[in-house]
Structure 1
């Protein structure tokens, strides 16, 4: 079977995003980082490819060596079922800092508490406290 990994493509902020995400969730760590050297084609020190885990789930990220006019869209998001209301509130606060609230924390009828944000990097997060 082929291995399928979610890849997040940034424009110069991959390591910053990965560091934030792994600091917020348990059982999370940076596994590998390969950086561009002075020969490019990306900015020296930026991320060619990196792997990390969030709550044991494997992800990859990179800094695009090519400028582009697109970024992340909320139609694809990371969905987190939180174990406690305190955890949900903490994640919502950290991920919405310098980001954008798409759905403020509240009871929308399908869970005890839910919030949806785009973080400062443009990655969309749905945070849920199951009923």
Structure 2
């Protein structure tokens, strides 16, 4: 068996925008490959046929779906991030929240003194925890 990699299917040509957004917010993150649809292929020319990116060493794969589906992302699957400082969790939470939706505002929930859960502008769910 090969690697297990989280796979994100974006609609409306948002994959590259999402990858650029995530890798700009979190240090030690990068886009590692992008293959785009060309002319006369099954997807819109220039959109992401397949791409990979890393966030803190965790590899992700993503695509722009060339088929419009009646579903999107769900909070049942989320990206969980342990943050080192209050400044880091606050900045990341507010940056990801812009255009998104708060599911659990940053607060003390007993299991963590500083935790927040949100859906970002692309519909991806994030759980942010202060690791102290």
TM range (shorter): over 0.9
1:8 alignment counterpart: 8
Structure 2: runs of 5+ lacking an equivalent: none
SS of corresponding position for 2:7: strand
**Could you tell me how far apart the structure 2 residues matched to 1:43 and 1:67 are?**
12
Give the superposed CA RMSD: 0.8
Contact persistence 1:112–1:130 (CA under 8 A): no
CA deviations 1:35-56 (Å, max 9, x no partner) are: 0111121111100000111011
**Could you tell me how far apart the structure 2 residues matched to 1:38 and 1:67 are?**
19
**Could you tell me how far apart the structure 2 residues matched to 1:38 and 1:124 are?**
33
Counting only pairs closer than 5 Å after superposition, residues 1-131 of structure 1 correspond to structure 2 as 1-11=1-11, 12-131=13-132
> Runs of 4+ in structure 1 displaced over 6 angstroms?
none
**How far apart are residue 3 of structure 1 and its match?**
1.3
